[in-house]
């Protein structure tokens, strides 16, 4: 069985996760569920990035020790992922003992091999980003990543010799076209960082102590990014007594990262792996961001929305559908109360829920709930819908494989619309009135195709919206073992009986009321 190891970034436990931060994890979970349906042996990793000055400061603000602070945050993160049905296999915390030990060993390996050397660092430091910048990297004298103030700092420090690996990295990019998705991010890395010349990276700090100490020189704390990036290895037991998971799952098939942390994953991380003589991940997928009309989500701007707020009112699947549907491959996605309510009412309620509801009630009305069998001699309308059924499977599979998640959902929804149109084309209510054999066969065929398509839709949406998929299959009376491979297996439609009365799976929202409701949430 092929394996599939997918990771999310490990999050800073510096407060409540909003829908933007939750996006990476929802996406990873969806990809994992998809691969699982395709029969892969899957492993998903997520967790928390608990060290560093920022966390130390946050703990102080709350009058807690850093460890107490991160313990509380970890519990909140785990609760949220449970609520969101995130099916991770491992939740790593960088304060975990096995991780700390492995990072210390990695540092000593780098030292012993001469990849890390001791020197002195002077530069402009951005505290929130925990990053040093050179004079030329600053934008208007501020941090180029977050735009905040920076301060001049100087310290004895260890450096990683990045320059040594620059050409090797470039060669790797050029010989591994699937390594970075999307392509334009690769070009950005080459043009903005590699071509101008890589700087050696300062990999220790002495200005604070909440971090992993260098074994051979404990007044130095290991830089959070070196500590954090290696989590993808240590979570599998790398350099521990039990490295069976590491042997089985490394290299990662996909690292998912937001665009703000691309540089760390596309430059430093592969170089660290090269220095450890380990294979590189197969693909690093860099996704865009979730924004608000007036820019980044931020509590101080009063424009934040938290996933649990949407889930509590509209359900998990509607929330996930919106998140996954709204971030296109080449642009940021936008959250607005209006678009959330519109997607809910049009896509989920009008298109999907009504299709299921109409089908279940017609089969009850015309065939006492029993799904008719199909003679196998399609007329023109059936021919067309059958072609669409075959095509959508390939389309959706290809799009997900290319990480075009919003487009994959769009393809499924076009198919839902096509199926709704099929009802209008065949007019089953007229066929049912006409008492002749020909029309009766057409009516049977129509009901059969509707159930076939709904079953297919339920499987296609399953990685994205598992609860809805279950509800649909339940209403259709389907209780097979669901897999992507059985999408084409129409023998599984024999002898089905739909439930006597299907409740709508999504109910229309009163748009104005709900838009106001969400606007109020954003101000809280
Ligand atoms: N701790 C680092 C990652 C270390 S990985 C070895 C970190 N943490 S984070 O909490 O700041 O961000 C976690 C993820 O959330 C990142 O992938 C980031 O891009 C993503 N997002 C944060 N805000 C986001 C949006 N508004 N929209 C989409 N993703 C966003 O970075």
Q: Is the pLDDT of residue 400 over 80?
A: yes
- In short, whether 88's Cβ falls inside 6 Å of ligand 1 is no
| 171-223 residue pLDDT tens | 999 999 999 999 999 999 999 999 999 999 999 998 889 999 999 999 999 99
Atom of ligand 1 nearest to the CA of 333: 27
* Predicted TM-score of the model (pTM): 0.94
Phi/psi of residue 361, nearest 5 degrees: -70, -35
| 224-270 residue pLDDT tens | 999 999 999 999 999 999 999 999 999 999 999 999 999 999 999 99
**CA 448 vs CA 369, 384, 392: distances in Å:** 12, 15, 18
Between the CA of 384 and the centroid of ligand 1 the distance, in Å, is 44
pLDDT number for residue 435: 85
Asked if residue 123 belongs to a domain, the reply is no
The burial of 304, by beta-carbon neighbours within 10 Å (0-12 exposed, 13-18 middle, 19 or more buried), is given as: buried
Atom of ligand 1 nearest to the CA of 258: 19
Residue 376 pLDDT grade (very low, low, confident, very high; cuts 50, 70, 90): confident
Per the structure, the count of domains in the chain is 1
pLDDT number for residue 481: 92
Could you give the 3-state DSSP secondary structure of residue 118?
strand
What mean pLDDT do residues 88-110 have?
98
Asked if residue 372 belongs to a domain, the reply is yes
**CA 28 vs CA 85, 285, 411, 442: distances in Å:** 12, 10, 20, 43
pLDDT number for residue 151: 92
- In short, whether 23's Cβ falls inside 6 Å of ligand 1 is yes
- In short, whether 322's Cβ falls inside 6 Å of ligand 1 is no
Choose which residue among 6, 7, 8, 11 to substitute to test ligand 1 binding: the one with the highest number of ligand atoms within 8 A of its C-beta.
11
Choose which residue among 13, 45, 261, 285 to substitute to test ligand 1 binding: the one with the highest number of ligand atoms within 8 A of its C-beta.
261
Between the CA of 279 and the centroid of ligand 1 the distance, in Å, is 25
pLDDT number for residue 82: 98
Domain that includes residue 486, residue range? 337-493
Atom of ligand 1 nearest to the CA of 9: 5
What mean pLDDT do residues 442-465 have?
97
Atom of ligand 1 nearest to the CA of 257: 17
Choose which residue among 13, 20, 99, 336 to substitute to test ligand 1 binding: the one with the highest number of ligand atoms within 8 A of its C-beta.
20
Sequence-ordered strand ranges (E) for 271-423: 283-287, 290-292, 333-335
Residue 137 pLDDT grade (very low, low, confident, very high; cuts 50, 70, 90): confident
Asked if residue 243 belongs to a domain, the reply is no
385 strand-pairing partners: none
Asked if residue 210 belongs to a domain, the reply is no
Atom of ligand 1 nearest to the CA of 49: 1
Give the chain's mean pLDDT. Answer: 95
Asked if residue 90 belongs to a domain, the reply is no
- In short, whether 257's Cβ falls inside 6 Å of ligand 1 is yes
Between the CA of 438 and the centroid of ligand 1 the distance, in Å, is 60
pLDDT > 90 fraction of the chain, expressed in percent and rounded: 85
Residue 416 pLDDT grade (very low, low, confident, very high; cuts 50, 70, 90): very high
Q: Is the pLDDT of residue 2 over 90?
A: yes
pLDDT number for residue 55: 94
What mean pLDDT do residues 457-482 have?
97
Choose which residue among 9, 92, 212 to substitute to test ligand 1 binding: the one with the highest number of ligand atoms within 8 A of its C-beta.
9
- In short, whether 354's Cβ falls inside 6 Å of ligand 1 is no
SS (H, E, C) 437-484: HHHHHHHHHHHHHHHHHHHHHHHHCCCCCHHHHHHHHHHHCCCCCCCH
- In short, whether 228's Cβ falls inside 6 Å of ligand 1 is yes
Between the CA of 22 and the centroid of ligand 1 the distance, in Å, is 9
Between the CA of 343 and the centroid of ligand 1 the distance, in Å, is 25
CATH code (residue 409): 1.10.730.10
State the CB neighbour count (10 A cutoff) for residue 400: 23
SS (H, E, C) 166-216: HHHHHHHHHHCCCCEECHHHHHHHHHHHHCCCCCCEECEECCCCCCCECCC
Q: Is the pLDDT of residue 375 over 80?
A: no
Residue 148 pLDDT grade (very low, low, confident, very high; cuts 50, 70, 90): very high
Between the CA of 260 and the centroid of ligand 1 the distance, in Å, is 7
Q: Is the pLDDT of residue 378 over 80?
A: no
Q: Is the pLDDT of residue 98 over 80?
A: yes
What is the C-alpha separation between 346 and 409, in angstroms, rounded?
14
pLDDT number for residue 161: 97
pLDDT number for residue 365: 97
Atom 7 (ligand 1): residue with closest C-alpha?
11
Between the CA of 9 and the centroid of ligand 1 the distance, in Å, is 7
Interhelix angle 437-460/405-426, nearest 10 degrees = 170
pLDDT number for residue 102: 98
Atom 2 (ligand 1): residue with closest C-alpha?
11
Residue 311 pLDDT grade (very low, low, confident, very high; cuts 50, 70, 90): very high
Q: Is the pLDDT of residue 277 over 90?
A: yes
Atom of ligand 1 nearest to the CA of 269: 6
Between 128 and 218, the more confident residue is 218
Phi/psi of residue 20, nearest 5 degrees: -65, -50
Asked if residue 379 belongs to a domain, the reply is yes
* Among 188, 460, 111, 477, CA closest to 469: 460
Asked if residue 498 belongs to a domain, the reply is no
Atom 19 (ligand 1): residue with closest C-alpha?
258
- In short, whether 289's Cβ falls inside 6 Å of ligand 1 is yes
What is the C-alpha separation between 203 and 220, in angstroms, rounded?
9
| 494-507 residue pLDDT tens | 899 999 999 999 99
pLDDT number for residue 380: 78
pLDDT number for residue 14: 86
Residue 187: which residues within 8 A CB-CB, separation 6 or more? none
Residue 55: which residues within 8 A CB-CB, separation 6 or more? 12, 13, 14, 66, 69, 70, 210
Asked if residue 400 belongs to a domain, the reply is yes
Residue 135 pLDDT grade (very low, low, confident, very high; cuts 50, 70, 90): confident
Between the CA of 498 and the centroid of ligand 1 the distance, in Å, is 44
- In short, whether 482's Cβ falls inside 6 Å of ligand 1 is no
Q: Is the pLDDT of residue 127 over 80?
A: yes
């Amino acid at each position: 069985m092929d394996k599939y190891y997918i990771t999310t970034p490990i999050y800073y436990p510096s407060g409540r996760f909003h829908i933007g931060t939750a996006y990476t994890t929802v996406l990873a979970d969806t990809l994992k569920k998809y691969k699982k349906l395709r029969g892969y042996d899957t492993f998903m990793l997520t967790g928390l990035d608990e060290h560093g000055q920022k966390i130390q400061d946050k703990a102080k603000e709350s009058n807690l020790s850093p460890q107490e602070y991160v313990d509380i945050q970890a519990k909140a993160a785990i609760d949220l992922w449970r609520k969101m049905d995130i099916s991770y296999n491992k939740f790593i915390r960088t304060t975990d003992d096995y991780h700390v030990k492995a990072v210390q060993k990695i540092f000593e390996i780098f030292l012993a091999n001469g990849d890390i050397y001791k020197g002195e660092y002077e530069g402009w430091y951005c505290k929130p980003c925990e990053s040093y910048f050179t004079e030329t990297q600053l934008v208007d004298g501020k941090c180029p990543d977050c735009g905040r103030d920076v301060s001049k700092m100087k310290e004895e420090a260890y450096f990683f010799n990045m320059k040594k690996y620059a050409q090797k990295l470039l060669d790797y990019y050029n010989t591994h076209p699937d390594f970075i998705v999307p392509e334009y991010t690769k070009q950005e890395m080459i043009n903005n960082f590699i071509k101008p010349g890589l700087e050696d990276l300062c990999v220790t700090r002495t200005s604070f102590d909440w971090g992993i100490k260098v074994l051979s020189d404990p007044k130095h704390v290991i830089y959070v990014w070196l500590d954090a990036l290696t989590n993808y290895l240590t979570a599998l037991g790398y350099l521990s007594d039990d490295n069976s998971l590491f042997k089985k799952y490394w290299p990662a098939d996909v690292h998912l990262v937001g665009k703000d942390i691309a540089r760390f994953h596309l430059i430093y991380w592969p170089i660290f792996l090269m220095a450890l003589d380990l294979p590189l991940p197969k693909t690093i997928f860099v996704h865009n961001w979730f924004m608000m009309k007036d820019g980044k989500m931020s509590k101080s701007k009063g424009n934040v929305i938290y996933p649990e707020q949407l889930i509590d009112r509209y359900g998990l699947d509607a929330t996930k559908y919106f998140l996954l549907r709204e971030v296109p491959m080449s642009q940021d996605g936008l959250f607005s109360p209006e678009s959330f309510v519109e997607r809910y009412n049009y896509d989920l309620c009008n298109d999907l829920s009504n299709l299921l509801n109409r089908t279940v009630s017609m089969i009850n009305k015309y065939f006492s709930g029993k799904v008719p069998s199909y003679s196998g001699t399609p007329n023109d309308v059936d021919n067309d819908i059958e072609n669409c059924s075959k095509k959508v499977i390939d389309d959706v599979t290809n799009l997900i494989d290319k990480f075009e998640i919003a487009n994959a959902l769009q393809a499924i929804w076009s198919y839902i619309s096509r199926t709704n149109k099929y009802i209008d084309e065949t007019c089953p209510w007229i066929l049912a009135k006409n008492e002749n054999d020909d029309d009766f066969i057409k009516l049977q065929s129509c009901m059969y195709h509707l159930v076939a398509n709904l079953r297919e839709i339920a499987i296609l949406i399953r990685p994205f919206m598992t609860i809805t998929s279950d509800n649909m299959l339940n209403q259709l009376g389907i209780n097979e073992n669901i897999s992507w491979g059985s999408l084409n297996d129409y023998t599984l439609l024999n002898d089905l009986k739909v439930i006597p009365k299907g409740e709508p799976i999504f109910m229309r929202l009163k748009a104005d009321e709900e838009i106001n409701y969400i606007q109020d949430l954003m101000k809280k």
